[in-house]
Structure 1
């Protein structure tokens, strides 16, 4: 759940890099909807070391495709590639993000990836996934079997049917919590929306391809095999940013539109004004709108949604930097305070990426000064943390870390 609800960058034009040494870095340029515009290889690192050529290719791509952000996979050569990018000067400030590559290779060899990109090889598909994860982690990660994302422990030791059911349920809850942009969602993402199965999801995508973007939720009824029941279940979770009817951009269900319309009429204003003006909403006497079919909880939900219409419940994304002086395990010294990212959580503690090949372990007893029985009380996946190096076992490549007494931002 924490992984799926990671902070999204949103619809921006992204240049994504799947880094590598010998085979070079695979670079792709994506438009704001995540469509592939261009791909090529650059070789900024040894043994090829065409640094100048790589820099000029990068500049050309950033200019040609009006790139707004750069996404780098966190695998081999990730730190070196990040340094290479940061040492370049572009004509404007472009934020650089390092994203998790977990499961990208699984996706790139999957049927979904082959269907999406039949004419490209796995390296291009993997780089596209790295870029799209930055824009919208949820929409991209639903394409990967949750067991391949590399989170948690003992996944293969439990009842697989129960595990699948629990994972699917979590994915569905996350997708429905965030809602989905009806005009950009893949058929795979749409299948997790209540009331939509694989066939209906594909019909929506086909309808969009033939008739262009949806302009209203009502238009969903024209999709082949969309019945009243399926529409009732799915409509509230499908958003249309920029729709003519402002309620189509929110989580308010179409069957409740008449209530909001009545509220606006009673206050002698438009729905747009009602959404924009908090003072107007304060004048609403909620008890006036209770009917045999619409109770107080429904009305409270509607008002709550009008307060933050269609706003994404996920946090805003932050740029993160590792310590520049730490490159390998040999650079670590006891007592160092370092920034890190929580990569995995198990029963006995949290594994933290501090920017080198080996992850360090913050044992359960070192997460907080008070007694805790479950690491998730203190940390979550992909959380940015500050840690202190307690001990380094170079021979066994083990790093013990602590968060006790280390100020967290």
Structure 2
């Protein structure tokens, strides 16, 4: 089986596009680079399609590796026939491959193996031939050694037959088919743990039954978590009688003593070997699908969060609010550097609100503050109310910023390196202010799983989750572009072709030699070779450069084309930048070559029109309903402003300015059927919701999207 055919059968993409993309991947090109700068080779595939090629390429290589291992094992055992080898090599998935290998697996001591050592395989073969009538007389001949009775001999023969049945691919696939179509998953509470406080969040699943192939991903993951924590027991069931009858139809063709023994062996094979193994496989397959769905939601949420609206290069006063320990204040310059820090105590027990207001007012004036960022944790609402009472001399915007992950950052190695002389509370405040200035640049410093925009992230396959989230971060960073002269090592490490080591080299080179003045300067960084420059240069931006293209997404390999366009118009490159009327005069077909076609040229024109344009929207001020401070203030029918702070497959959670987030169930997002929550709301979107139900004991709030 060929790689191209394997990928093509699963993606339906043109084989030429797959072939060229695979070659680029083999040449260590990254997904962002391929999707942006090799459109002619890929047939204009986007990053999602290229990521699919990466996924199936990895799958194929894992399959081929497993085939090699199995073929070697079979050869070492001396059982590899040309027919078996052909079947192994033709396998297109791991399940088929493992079924072929099953009869030859060296496993722990089995009942069938014991029976073989007792010399019972000939008896099993006679019974399977179904030609003998007096099976007991035949079995008597094998009563010797460790066998003391006819029944022991027959039982041993049945164990061998049961193993043969278990190893039959057609039978295994038939049961798989039944599990796939008809399996039910059911749960029962563990009585001894039913009343425990931690068990109550799983109360809905104390007695549950549902079709396995229809259960939503979030529900399956919740059920499996409840089982792993010991609160419930999970069972997979199908119609056993129907399954047994189908096996009998495939094997039994007589009506004698042999048939009776085979029937017993079939029941044993089904109960002891087939069903436990295949039902577990079915549950694992469902878990894989649930993982994929959960990871997909997490990835979509993370992308929206990372591409959240930046305030930009503005001077910010950031506050990490608190009661007893006070509010930690930092003042940051437009580039996010720390200028000042202090702690104020406006709330109980000290309640120095007047002193706090004076301090914030004087700091805002002294450091020419343009915006205030307030963390959305404890005392956030009280702090926001205090800030809004202050009459600032300048126009100061007030924002409430998510604190999710700020504590993780503040205690991290990255934070200690950035601010070695400050404690975690100051670092946390700095992070809050910086994520208002540029969410992407700050959030890349935090493990994505700690940001809190997914569900059941600890229950899904961690390797797959990490791969997916890393890909999202990489794509977001490269979609926005990075200012090489201000970027942190964390941000630089996600630039196409750079990675952590080169990011550190860039950072150190910058500290020792000052700011980069052109993209060509990047080549002076130690160990940054031609390949890394090719992959990353166009995503690294130089602000206020001599060559304006250095602050654009135009790749250095295309500079000559832009220069030729300008020369043909009798102009300089600088004359083209932002000049729509002049750009319209360019005949793109004139500049097409074998290497560069219209897709790339069209991208170049877009960049010339608006070079370095940030794809993100500008941050907007938002205000919660000031009369709603706790869940007790909520009433059914209220209309409230809110911000979407998490999206799942079953709906979205909304911050309405209190400790508890409310849920808009998927059925309350629209009056018509909703197939994709993301089609109706996006992360951090400002919306209006209607309160449908308030469950104070369980701290649950049901909302409806108001349009």
Do the two structures share a fold, i.e. TM-score over 0.5? Answer: yes
Aligned length: 405
- Which among 123, 128, 134 is matched to residue 430 of structure 2? 128
Partner of 1:345: 647
Partner of 1:34: 336
From the two aligned structures, give the one with the greater strand fraction. Answer: 1
- Which among 548, 564, 578 is matched to residue 246 of structure 1? 548
Q: Distance in 1 between matches of 2:380 and 2:573?
A: 49
Q: Distance in 1 between matches of 2:511 and 2:362?
A: 31
After TM superposition, list the pairs within 5 Å mapping 1:265-280 onto structure 2. Answer: 265-280=567-582
From the two aligned structures, give the one with the greater helix fraction. Answer: 2
Task: Tell whether the 8 Å contact from 2:579 to 2:609 is kept in structure 1 after alignment.
Answer: no
Q: Helix, strand or coil: the match of 2:622?
A: coil
Partner of 1:145: 447
Q: Helix, strand or coil: the match of 1:385?
A: strand
In angstroms, what is the RMSD of aligned CA positions?
1.0
Q: Which moved more, 1:136-145 or 1:240-249?
A: 240-249
Offset from partner CA, 1:190-248 (integer Å, 9 cap, x none) = 00001112121111111111222111111111111121111111000011121121111
Partner of 1:213: 515
Q: Say yes or no: does 1:47 pair with 2:349.
A: yes
Q: Helix, strand or coil: the match of 2:304?
A: coil
Task: Tell whether the 8 Å contact from 2:542 to 2:551 is kept in structure 1 after alignment.
Answer: yes
- Which among 526, 532, 536 is matched to residue 224 of structure 1? 526
Structure 2 segments unaligned to the other structure (5+ residues)? 1-302
Partner of 2:626: 324
Which structure has more relative contact order (CA 8 Å, sep 6+)? It is: 1
Q: Distance in 2 between matches of 1:83 and 1:240?
A: 41
Q: Distance in 1 between matches of 2:479 and 2:356?
A: 42
Offset from partner CA, 1:364-397 (integer Å, 9 cap, x none) = 1001111013322211111111100111122222
Partner of 2:378: 76
Offset from partner CA, 1:47-78 (integer Å, 9 cap, x none) = 11111221221122112211111101000010
Q: Distance in 2 between matches of 1:339 and 1:213?
A: 44
- Which among 140, 162, 165 is matched to residue 467 of structure 2? 165
TM normalised by structure 1 equals 0.97
Q: Say yes or no: does 1:109 pair with 2:416.
A: no
Q: Distance in 1 between matches of 2:566 and 2:545?
A: 18
Q: Say yes or no: does 1:287 pair with 2:589.
A: yes
Task: Tell whether the 8 Å contact from 2:370 to 2:394 is kept in structure 1 after alignment.
Answer: no
> Which of 1 and 2 has greater Rg?
2
Q: Distance in 1 between matches of 2:520 and 2:626?
A: 53
Q: Helix, strand or coil: the match of 1:345?
A: strand
Partner of 2:506: 204
Partner of 2:478: 176
Q: Which moved more, 1:391-400 or 1:189-198?
A: 391-400
Offset from partner CA, 1:236-263 (integer Å, 9 cap, x none) = 0011121121111100011111111111
After TM superposition, list the pairs within 5 Å mapping 1:254-265 onto structure 2. Answer: 254-265=556-567
1:357 Cα deviation from its structure 2 partner: 1.2
Offset from partner CA, 1:285-308 (integer Å, 9 cap, x none) = 101111222222111111121122
**Which 4+ residue blocks in structure 1 deviate beyond 4 angstroms?**
none
Q: Distance in 1 between matches of 2:695 and 2:594?
A: 68
Q: Helix, strand or coil: the match of 1:242?
A: coil
Q: Helix, strand or coil: the match of 1:300?
A: helix
Partner of 2:97: none
